[in-house]
């Protein structure tokens, strides 16, 4: 699945502005259903969830900070 640079950039922006806040709300809600664990365990859960959300979107974020390879000089 090869997306153009502009498409990937727009998709990354959409994921960060809409998807990430939704994921944070869902993660906080799900963790809130259980009895509060120790601070260290809770930190590990949030760090793990923070890494897991980005894994499916690696292909979108890869190379976004680089100059547009499709643009002419």
Q: What is the pLDDT of residues 16-73, one digit of tens each?
A: 999 999 998 988 888 888 888 888 988 888 899 888 888 888 888 888 888 887 776 6
What's the confidence (pLDDT) of residue 57? 87
Burial of 60 (0-12, 13-18, 19+ CB in 10 A): buried
d(CA 14, CA 18) in angstroms, rounded, equals 6
Q: What is the pLDDT of residues 1-16, one digit of tens each?
A: 578 888 889 999 999 9
Q: Cα separations (Å) of 20 from 31, 46, 51, 59?
A: 16, 13, 12, 16
């Amino acid at each position: 699945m090869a997306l153009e640079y502009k498409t990937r950039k727009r998709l990354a922006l959409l994921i960060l502005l809409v998807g990430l806040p939704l994921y944070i709300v869902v993660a906080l809600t799900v963790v809130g259903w259980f009895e509060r664990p120790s601070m260290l365990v809770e930190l590990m859960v949030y760090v793990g969830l923070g890494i897991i959300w980005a894994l499916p979107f690696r292909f979108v974020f890869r190379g976004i900070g680089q100059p547009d390879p499709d643009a002419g000089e």
